[in-house]
Chain A
């Protein structure tokens, strides 16, 4: 069964450093997403991406964040200057088409980011 993959599974970084989280969505999917979940809290939407551009973003997704699809398979989330409060699990997801009851978003296993 096709699945979304993410690397690394765990990233530890120093405050102020840049990190890049990587995702490989399911191959025939067209919509890609990043979510984050701070430990013990709810899953929060960050950004959605379609046709090589951002389609929606939340208030969390400020200038410190960027996304890119550098090639035909990878989808990356970059945090330019990490803060302690960026420590969270970051989930990538993908779907075949735009959100609806019939277009499930499939989640990757997540990258746990720890900012020291």
Chain B
């Protein structure tokens, strides 16, 4: 079974502090992992995907197959990072994404 777990429903950090949003997954094959973000009053949008190995808005995420994790990190949080973040998994040959429960990140000034 495919499952994505985001253990923190809420995360609050101060501006300038490092941020780490946790994501763990359960999947027997080689998944593709994504982070989606939803800013206030906006639609969900793709933030980054592991195969791209890119940094978007200062965020990075590394797929750790040994720990089955795909944590999202940013060294210095900014107020505009406040949003809802969803981790998502796409299994091999799958037609649909499996989403985690989401983490609401709040950056305090």
Task: Judge: A and B partners, yes or no.
Answer: no
B residues at A contact (CB < 8 Å): none
> A: which residues have CB within 8 A of B?
none
